[in-house]
Structure 1
Amino acid sequence: MCGLETVKQCLKDKHSREVFTYLMEIASCNHLGLSKITNDEDQEAEDNLENNNILLNYYNDIKEKGIESILSASIYLNPNKYKNHQYESRQLIFPFGSNNSQMKAVKNAFSNQLSVIQGPPGTGKTQTILNIISNILIAGQNVFVVSNNNSAVENVLEKLAKQDLGFLVATLGKRANQMMFFQEEYQKKEKAYPPKIKDWINSGLSKERLDAAILSISKRLHSIYDMQERLARDEQLLQQVELEYEHYKKELKLDIELNHPSRQINSEELTRLWVFCQEYTSIDHISSANQWIKKIKYFFLKWKMILGYHWDRKFFDKDIHTVIQHIPLLYLDSQEQP
């Protein structure tokens, strides 16, 4: 066996190559990374513009090395040809806590070839990263944590260190960090094993029983998170209904006391009553026979409400237009009921 491996390059594809060339042209207009220059250096800087352009240099480096078709970058260059790889779901842990959106983000990260997690400050992006790192480590794998600024990486390291996991991290990056990492004194002080590391081993439970326990807890967490989301949506809906309720009363200037039925009436019955009352107002424009039919129907509907829901009879003694105006208030009020 010769050990040769054939690797397909997506830049051989015409569409991918054209998109990549377009991105390089945009990068050539970006002066990212150029150092400040004086007027005397303007011409020389212009001559060396291409060499000093960090972004363009990255693109040139990628072009030289090529992009394998199996890499996620190929999906963006030609999404019609290269598809996102889906992976089978695996049992995940969330030792740094989570909410429903964070849990979904971690699951998506392990189910897809490429995952983008975004959100405003304070939404738990670092917490999500820590949970992703934890699942990679328990699978016996390594992970690179990189960022365009040191503070983001240091934030992850700090939170790992608080949980006595700092010894698992190799703080590399810039050369000064690399040199410091390999110093013996630094290793003894910062990367020493935590004193309680022996307590981490739970010899009383087998891996199968631990996996079963984790699965059970994960299901309960997922159920709790779903209920929290539904509660948040219902609270938001309640606020909208209350606001609409107040606007409606204010707009119509309803001063007549609203008579609620003693028994709770559902929104479907109220809608049916409202529609019928609307139709009843046009009774003068229909034949005499149909007028009597409408009156009989209204009579039975009225007494159904009075007897079935213990509704005050005085409510239906009011003018039909007043009744129509009050029904939407009752409808909104029924939406507020649990």
Structure 2
Amino acid sequence: MDIKNDIPQEENKDKAETEEVLISCEKEDNENFNDNIAFKYLKELSSHMELENEDGEVKSSFQFIEEVDHNSVLANYLNKKAAEKEEDHNFKIIPFGFNLSQKEAVQSAFDNKISIIEGSSVSSSTDAILNIVLNAVINDKTVAIISESDFFALKFVEILNQVDMDFIVDNITDNENDSNKDKINQWLSLKRNEFEKRNLPKERGELKDIQNTLGEIFENENKLSVMQMEKANLLNEISIPDSGSRMILPASILSQSAEKIMLFLEEYTMLIKKDKYIKFLNKIRFLFKYGISEFGFYNNKFENIKKLLINRYNYLKITELDIEIESLKNKLDRYLIEDEIRYHKENSLSILRGILYEKYSKRKDDEILENEEDNNVGDTSKKVQAVITSINSFKKSMKGCKLFDYVIIDEAERLDIFSGALILSCARNIVLISDTNQAFDGPYDKENNIWNEVYKEYSPDEAYNYLNNSLLSSITKIFPDTPRTVLVKKYRGSRNPVNLYN
């Protein structure tokens, strides 16, 4: 099956025209890359891909790309031209794994032509992917998830099935080729009574308030964790002066704030390093600046004075932190955080289903026949907005594909640049999901000399070297400022910073 996507024009008031518009590879929208070294290098690679694929699927797929759509990420990739950031101010609904990093990841995906999401757990990466897909669909954007294998592609369908939204995607793999027309019709029929009289704008406003509350909770949790870690470090730094020393700090110093003690220690240390002792004029200056009138204090060993000053500073900072920690704990104790998160997820999914019902039922109403009786659910078929597929299935079916608004590549650090370039040719925007536990091994026949020979013949930038680069490493070399979001998965049920950041 060929992947074909219809992408409606944004803000188009004419429904009939919107249904007909395709973002296609029209000649006037394409760029001529015949003289581009990287493009010629990739073309030459494709002529040798039969060594890897006996069916010649990869070769035929790339050879078919005679011109590159200037709207595609491939054009940016070959030109080394970063796209300007375009902020998307639409409210984002984030039902899966909501936290500050998930919120940032979704926003970055819609703000940037190329973005990277880095996660150390499969669940957090999966959450981010599904959050992006759902926001794309409800905003009339087409999106494709490309996974390493059919098995991993199916996990997204299974999760969407669990939340009663699997009808939004077509599953295109070697073993599956689903059509969602019947699924949508059945779902609309079942949900008619549930969703017909909902006030979705009001519900979205309430959800935004819930998100803001959760955001404040998470920010306070982060502050609490940082403070607890800072307190632990300060406790570890407290030292014991020499056993033979009975010196104590003058009352004038004990009355100073933590900041002033640290400022005095810095000045005192600098003068000792410079002059080996404190001159009389500096003692007078310290008298007026810090109120230190006990000049005999300076006769003690520098090491002991330094230890006592650091201990006093740490004691005062720990006291300050204890007050702030207690205040934050009191704020957080007002909420049952797990319940708040569960409530947010249930509301998010409910609103998403309501938006989808409104979206698909409206489409059905526009297409219903005049002589249809009893308002039966009609044919709601239309080119799908979301596709889930594996890399191999995508390459087999990409010939003639239209540009997806968003393409999400799972485990992008394992994808070679040749396969990656094929995908970039079909993407207006790209999201690269990186698993920090994975690494690029190179093509399976990397010992074959042909790859080095082709590279030497064309000598493109090292970032395009097929043997040495994954798509992820290649893009980060070409666009080092690519926005990168690191997903943080917190362990709830404990406010211990070791558990939170384990």
Query: What TM-score comes out, normalization by structure 1 length?
Result: 0.67
Count residues in correspondence: 293
Matches within 5 A, 1:11-160: 11-12=32-33, 14=35, 17-25=36-44, 33-34=52-53, 52=56, 55-62=58-65, 64=66, 66-80=67-81, 83-84=83-84, 86-122=86-122, 124-160=124-160
Q: In 2 relative to 1, CA 254–222 (structure 1 residues): closer, same or farther, beyond 3 Å?
A: farther
SS in 2 for 1:145: strand
- Matches of 1:130 and 1:156, distance apart in 2: 7
Equivalent in the alignment of 1:222: 215
AA paired with 1:328?
I
Which range moves more in the overlay, 267-276 or 190-199? 190-199
Q: Deviations for 1:239-286, whole angstroms, at most 9, x for unmatched residues?
A: 44444x15xx38x76675796889785332112332454477589889
Identical positions, percent: 18
Q: In 2 relative to 1, CA 102–256 (structure 1 residues): closer, same or farther, beyond 3 Å?
A: farther
- Matches of 1:19 and 1:227, distance apart in 2: 48
Candidates 30, 47, 58, aligned match of 1:9: 30
Q: What displacement does 1:298 show?
A: 5.1
SS in 1 for 2:114: coil
Q: Which has the higher contact order (CA 8 A, sep 6+)?
A: 2
Does the 8 Å CA contact 1:88/1:111 hold for their aligned counterparts? yes
Where in structure 1 are there 5+ consecutive unaligned residues? 36-50, 307-312
Q: In 2 relative to 1, CA 76–227 (structure 1 residues): closer, same or farther, beyond 3 Å?
A: farther
SS in 2 for 1:171: strand
- Matches of 2:39 and 2:275, distance apart in 1: 73
Matches within 5 A, 1:263-278: 265-278=256-269
Equivalent in the alignment of 1:201: 195
Q: Deviations for 1:103-135, whole angstroms, at most 9, x for unmatched residues?
A: 111112222233332322246111111112222
AA paired with 2:171?
T
Question: Over aligned residue pairs, what C-alpha RMSD do you find?
Answer: 4.4
- Matches of 1:89 and 1:69, distance apart in 2: 25
Q: In 2 relative to 1, CA 130–284 (structure 1 residues): closer, same or farther, beyond 3 Å?
A: closer
Equivalent in the alignment of 1:319: 300
Equivalent in the alignment of 1:43: none
Higher share of residues assigned strand: 2
Query: What TM-score comes out, normalization by structure 2 length?
Result: 0.47
SS in 2 for 1:118: strand
Max radius of gyration: which structure? 1
SS in 1 for 2:28: coil
AA paired with 1:137?
V
Does the 8 Å CA contact 1:157/1:166 hold for their aligned counterparts? yes
Q: What displacement does 1:156 show?
A: 1.0
